Structures are given as structure tokens and as C-alpha cells.
Amino acid sequence: MPIDEITQKVSDRYAKAASTGEQMCCPTSYDMGQLKTFIPEEVLRISYGCGTPAGLQTVLAGETVLDIGSGGGIDCFEASRLVGPSGRVIGIDMTDTMLEIARKNASVVATNLGYPTSNVEFRKGLADAMPVEDGTIDLIISNCVINLAPDKQKVFREMSRVAKPGGRFTISDIVSDHTVPQYLVHDSRKWGDCLSGALTLADYITGMGHAGFFGIHLVKSSPWRIIDGIHFFSVTLTGYKLPPAATTSSVRYATLRGPFSRVMDERGRIYERGIPQAIKPDDALLLSSPPFADHFLMTSDPVRLDSNDPRWTAVFPTNAPCTWQGHYALLAGPFVEVEDDDHHIYCRGEPLEICSKTVTVLEAEWYKPHFVILNRAGDRISGEAATCTPNGGCC
């Protein structure tokens, strides 16, 4: 299906939904009670998304925020409240009906917030050719929209172009655990349902990395639908466009604390738990960013850690038989590859079958933020106990 045809069909579908009140594809978790205090019902009624990227304590006062695929404006208006009257919000959408509703309600929201004038501007444009100046955006948000774009790599490059050095994104979208087959790719209705255009989690994060973002990591995930054995699920991801590193830094060594026994970062550097690694200023900048900071001890002199040091972290499985229950784990950053203490090697975005003991490990506090866990067992399984060995595909 030609790209222009996909774009037009998606736009027509959402314009029709805005006119008829049709409930579109994706699961959301908006606090409607709070939003109703300042956002008109007309906007809330046509809000489609798979997350709440503006409501996850990611928006800071005074920032410039860009919303890709702003629709009726719900996320822009929430961002408007959070940035305050000194901040600025830009919404981009390709559908005239949505833009008309958003623009009409901007002044109403400003009045409800007590602002002298609206700090939200809505522009017509496409995600892969955004009408936004280079290097002007502190935070990019998007809610279940990028999966609708035929050329997502162009969207990711556009995001990198408009983000300030030191800027970041928090986006919610639908991804899959398998590559979407051609018979779904060419189903125009399923494009509007956030299915046909979904990338695998691995391809999504890799595409962001190729565009120049670092520290890409999972904020939240939830299952959505299973079609022909393909799991579609919602993820909210954050990543950073790092500023230039200082030429000198007091930090010269990084020591991995855990809970992983070994990790590879996005520049291909490998760190083993407890062993200090000499690093350069740009490595120090990366490892000091929020998704990495808790995992490393950053020092001017080498510091070795062992299991008796309170800064050392590890989560071990119970010493008992396990069961296979159909669970698969997908590493969702910020590392490209990690190894646990049972010698499982997880590659970012790639499903790995895990047993019941490993599920318990990955649901522990230190591991849980980094993984999406799916269950592919279609029928109830017996779950008979098994003894895992290093050569048995598990523990």
C-alpha cells in the first residue's frame, strides 16, 4: 500500500471518529476526573492513546513541549498545565477536524487554568516532516501515534532534529513481539487500530538509537491484544539527546553495582559487576543520566565492590525446581545486552523464554523496571516441575 494512501486513510479514519464519537483502538489510563476540571468534554470525548506521556511527572515548569499527533489536544492541555504560564506547548496533527477542535478549545483551557493567554499552539503537519525549528524542544511527547506513520525512522530523525541538546522524549506507543506480517501491513483498517504499523520492541528502540537518542528505557507497559499469535502491547519509553560532554571530568571510573552480573551500554562498552572500568567524559555523561545512575558507582579513583559491600546488588533465584508456564521476557533498556546470575543473556527487545523462578527474579524491585513479560501459552498448561541446568535453557 503506498505511503500517501496509508496516511490519507488514517487521517480519514480519525476525522470520522472525531465527528461520530467512535472509540478508537488503544487502552488509556487518564485521570478523567482531574482533567475534567479544566479540559472541555468535547476534547475528552475524542482522546485516543495508549498511555499518559504528559502525566508521568515528565513535564517541568517553563519547558517547551512538543506533542506529535496532538489530536483534540488532551495531552497538550495537560502539558500546558504542567509547564505553567511561562512554558510553551506545540501540538502537531495532520487531521483538520482534530485541529479545529483543539484550536477552538485552547482559549477555554487557558481561562480555566487562570492564564492570561493560551500557551498552546496547534500546527498542521506530519510526524515525519514536522513544522518545528531545529533544537528548540525540551520534551517531546506522543501518544499512540508514531505506529501510524509509514516511515518511522524519518519520524525518529525529526525528533532528534527538533530536540535541544540535553532534551528528551517520553512517548507511548503500541509495539509487538513479532514482526507484523504482510497480510496485516496491507489491511488499511488495522492501521487505524494501531496494529498494522506496529514495530517490534527491538526495532522501535533500535530506530530511536540510530536517530541519536541514548538512555532509552521503559517507563511503563501493559498488554493490549493478541492477533494470530502476535502480542501487541503498549509501552511508554523515555530517551535523551545528550549534550556535548565536558572535556574534563572528575569521574574517571565506573563500577557496575548490579543487579546484572554484566551489561553492555549503547556505545558497546561492557561492564562487569564490582569491577571498576576506566571511562571517558562522554561515558560519564551517559552513565550519569537517570536510567543508568542507580546501577553504577562513579568515582575519580577505581573502587572494587564485592558481595559484602552494601552497594553491591543481586537477585538470586530460589534453589528449587521450576516450571515452564509460557513466559517470555523482553529487555526494554537502557542496556543493549545484560546477563543475570543464572547466565541468561537478554538482548534488548528480543523475547527469551523464562521459567517460573526467573519470572520471580525479573519481577523483583531491581529488575522489574527493565523488562516486559508476556505469556504465550494459549491453553492452560500442566506446569510440571523441572530441574533447570545451564544447558537446559533456563537456570
**pLDDT tens digits for 300-345?**
999 999 999 999 999 999 888 889 999 999 999 999 999 999 999 9
Judged by average pLDDT, the poorest of 15-19, 72-76, 299-303 is 15-19
- Considering the domain architecture, whether residues 62 and 159 belong to the same structural domain is answered as yes
The pTM score is 0.90
In a domain, 253, yes or no: no
Among 333, 28, 351, smallest CA distance to 207 is for 333
In a domain, 307, yes or no: no
Question: 12 versus 365: which is more confidently predicted?
Answer: 365
Residue 19 pLDDT > 90, yes or no?
no
* Residue that is last in its domain, among 240, 275, 302: 240
In a domain, 68, yes or no: yes
Q: Which residues pair with 141 in a beta bridge?
A: 67, 170
Domain count, the chain: 2
Give the three cell numbers for residue 141: 511527547
CATH code of the domain containing 160: 3.40.50.150
In a domain, 383, yes or no: no
In a domain, 343, yes or no: yes
In a domain, 60, yes or no: yes
In a domain, 331, yes or no: yes
Neighbouring CB atoms inside 10 A of 379's CB total: 5
- Considering the domain architecture, whether residues 233 and 133 belong to the same structural domain is answered as yes
* Phi, psi of 104, rounded to the nearest 5 degrees: -65, -35
Neighbouring CB atoms inside 10 A of 174's CB total: 26
- pLDDT at residue 50 in the model: 81
Domain that holds residue 44: 3-240
Q: Which residues of 315-332 are buried (b: 16+ CB within 10 A; e: fewer)?
A: bebeeeebbbbebbbbbb
- Considering the domain architecture, whether residues 36 and 153 belong to the same structural domain is answered as yes
CATH code of the domain containing 355: 3.40.5.100
